[in-house]
Amino acid sequence: MRVWQRDGKQELSGEIIPAFCFEYSHACRWGAAGPLFLKEIKKWLLFTTQLYSLLELSPTMNLFHQFDRIRRRQGRLLDMLGLVPAETPARVVLSAPAFTLKAYGDTGDGEPPLLIVPAPIKRAYIWDLLPRVSVVRHCLSHGISVYLMQWEQPHLEQQEAGGQELGLAAYADRYISTCLDAIKAELGVRRVFLAGHSLGGTLAAIFAALHPERVRGLVLLAAPLRFGPKSGSFGHLLAAAP
Q: Using CA atoms, how far apart are residues 198 and 73, in angstroms rounded to an integer?
A: 26
What DSSP character marks residue 87?
A: P
Reported as a pLDDT band with limits 50, 70 and 90, residue 156 is low
Domain ranges of the chain: 32-39+86-231
Contact (CB, 8 A) for 28 and 207: no
> For residue 19, how many other CB atoms are within 10 A of its CB?
20
Q: Using CA atoms, how far apart are residues 88 and 141, in angstroms rounded to an integer?
A: 12
Type of residue numbered 34: G
61-80 and 34-57 are packed helices; what angle lies between their axes, rounded to 10 degrees? 100
Least-confidence region, from 20-34, 166-180, 187-201: 20-34
Reported as a pLDDT band with limits 50, 70 and 90, residue 10 is very low
Q: Using CA atoms, how far apart are residues 201 and 133, in angstroms rounded to an integer?
A: 20
Kindly give the pairing relationship between strand 114-117 and strand 192-197: parallel
* Tens of pLDDT, residues 93-149: 999 989 999 999 876 566 789 999 999 988 898 899 888 889 999 999 999 999 999
Give me the torsion for CA of 46, 210, 195, 221, rounded to 10°: 50
Higher pLDDT, 236 or 226: 226
Q: Using CA atoms, how far apart are residues 169 and 39, in angstroms rounded to an integer?
A: 12
Output the pLDDT for position 224: 85
Task: Give the start-end residues of each E strand in the chain.
Answer: 3-6, 9-12, 91-95, 99-104, 114-117, 146-151, 192-197, 215-221
Output the pLDDT for position 108: 56
Q: Using CA atoms, how far apart are residues 154 and 220, in angstroms rounded to an integer?
A: 26
Question: Which CATH number among 1.10.3720.10, 3.40.50.1970, 3.40.50.1820, 3.40.50.300 corresponds to the domain 32-39+86-231?
Answer: 3.40.50.1820
Exposure letters 147-181 (e unless 16+ CB within 10 A, then b)? bbbbbeebeeeeeeeeeeebebebbbbebbebbbe
Give me the torsion for CA of 233, 235, 240, 241, rounded to 10°: 120
**What is this structure's pTM?**
0.66
> For residue 220, how many other CB atoms are within 10 A of its CB?
22
CA 180, chain centre distance (Å): 14
Instruction: Tell me the three state secondary structure of residue 3.
Output: strand
CA 193, chain centre distance (Å): 13
